[in-house]
Chains A and B, each alone.
Chain A
Amino acid sequence: MHLAYLDAGSGSLIVQAVVGGVAGAAVAAKLYWRRLVARFRRQPTDQR
């Protein structure tokens, strides 16, 4: 993995999608949706 020398900041990366107009907001929404889905998928195993 090619990592930057500078800590770009996780929130600072995501917010750039949000400010990038409608298409950007769609990317941000998709990212959050996937995180949400991933959390629900994980939950049953987590609770065992």
Chain B
Amino acid sequence: MTHPDTGLRADPGSFRDPTNRVFHRDGEVLRGLDDRATADWRALAGSGFFRALLTEGKVCGTEEVAATPPWSATLRHERIPFVSHPYEWSFGMLRDAALLHLDVLRAALDGGFTTKDGSAYNLQWRGAAPVFIDVGSFEPLREGEPWAGYRQFCQTLLYPLLLQAHLGVDFQPWLRARVDGIEPDQMRRFFGGARRLLPGVLTHVHLHGAMQRRNSRATTTDVRAQLRDAGYSRELAAATVRGIEKLVRRLDRPPGGSHWSDYQRTCGYSAQDRLAKERFVEEAVAGVDTPALALDLGANDGRYARIAARHAGYVVAVEQEPAVVDALYRALRAEGQRRILPLVMDLADPSPGGGWRGVERAGFADRTRADVVLALAVVHHLAIGRNVPLAAVVDQLANLGAPGAALVVEFVHPEDPMARRLLANKPDGLFPDYRRDAFERLLAARCRIIRRAELPSGTRTLYQAVVGG
């Protein structure tokens, strides 16, 4: 969708607020502002709170550049290394994203500003650190008005957190299925009876829903005026935000463990195997010339993502188990890791495109052109566990890499105890092609194999290959 004359490409995810739009030019992330947004930006750029947020890294780097017509002003933003969506985050990630949003809002309110919206999509990640990206969302505060973004905040941040913290329901499918998040009217059905008394539920879910129903015919213009007349103040707005923040801090029940949480203890690897594998992976990644993006598929506790991060600019660690990702996120956050992004995703059901025309939120494949793809002890899960034809698995691994990318893949032989366990759940002889020689042939058809190694246990083979080579 690049414009032939100007080289500008409108960002398909940026259209909801017509006063400012994100577009791309020569790999730069730019934001065009109309007259009104320009006035807001000038005020914002001169404010102390905004400079402090930038310095603290809470808001993505932003500077004004020469205006691109037809916009009155143009901003250039720091590039986020890998764009992710809230339904790919773990509970801890969504919670930290929510806390950052509230933190940014509180700073804005203190500085006489507010944010126009409150969406989870206002946030992105630099590794395990959230960052507020929607600089177009700041506007001067109008005295006497509550936060316009509260409803969005509830639907895309608070409600998903309540579902997980109070009921143990994974929130990701809800956010993935509904671009605007969960409505109060749906939420309240989860929280009947005594559950009404769980923190935050009575007010933010039931009362909120009831107020919406009772005021469905009142316009927001009228209600804003009524609230102002009744004495709603800036202090009240700040108190409300503090209250929500206190609630979100209380919602810290990490999701329960999963079968995979204990993988490193139960994986059946010998120490020798692990050492050989670590060395192989390290050498493979180190051999790539300044890889910008590495993917670790089936990342589990991130052991190999960390090895990749020694050499790659950025690593995306994909793992299907939300609890495993959450544990990884918490560990990375504690380490202050800024170059490994953990994501919840099932490789057999990767994020599709979502929102308007299915492009507002880009699907995983459209966002991913990695320079290194690690697929370690995961092929058997797809080929045996999920019945994906081996050729299709190999194709997909190659497709996630840019041409010339390094693919590091571990093939678990059908005789390996872990593969045998998966095979035991399927009828005998269902996967006659799940063999080492067949795998190698398929890999060679898509890639150039440059190195292979047998692990000491004798039932696993590592390959290093060049995509399309």
Contacts and interface: CB of A to CB of B under 8 A. Distances in A.
Given A12-B154, A30-B230, A31-B227, A23 B239 contact: yes
A30 to B, nearest CB: 4
A20 to B, nearest CB: 4
A14, A15, A28 interface centre (most CB from chain B within 10 Å): A15
A6 B227 contact: no
Nearest to A17: B232
A30 B226 CA distance: 9
Contacts of A43: none
A33 B25 CA distance: 55
Contact of A12 (B16, B208, B226): B208
A24 B221 contact: no
A6 B117 contact: yes
Main secondary structure of the interface of B (DSSP, over half): helix
Interface string B228-257: 011110011101100110000000000000
A23 B209 CA distance: 22
Given A11-B208, A16-B150, A3 B221 contact: yes
Nearest to B232: A27
Contacts, number: 123
Interface string B145-167: 11111111010000000000000
B6 interface: no
Given A19-B203, A20-B236, A34-B230, A7 B18 contact: no
22 contacts: A6-B116, A8-B148, A8-B151, A9-B220, A10-B212, A11-B209, A11-B214, A12-B208, A13-B145, A13-B150, A13-B223, A14-B223, A14-B227, A15-B203, A17-B146, A18-B207, A20-B240, A24-B239, A26-B231, A27-B231, A27-B232, A30-B231
Given A4-B220, A8-B146, 9 more contacts: A1-B221, A6-B16, A6-B152, A10-B218, A11-B211, A12-B212, A13-B148, A16-B150, A23-B235
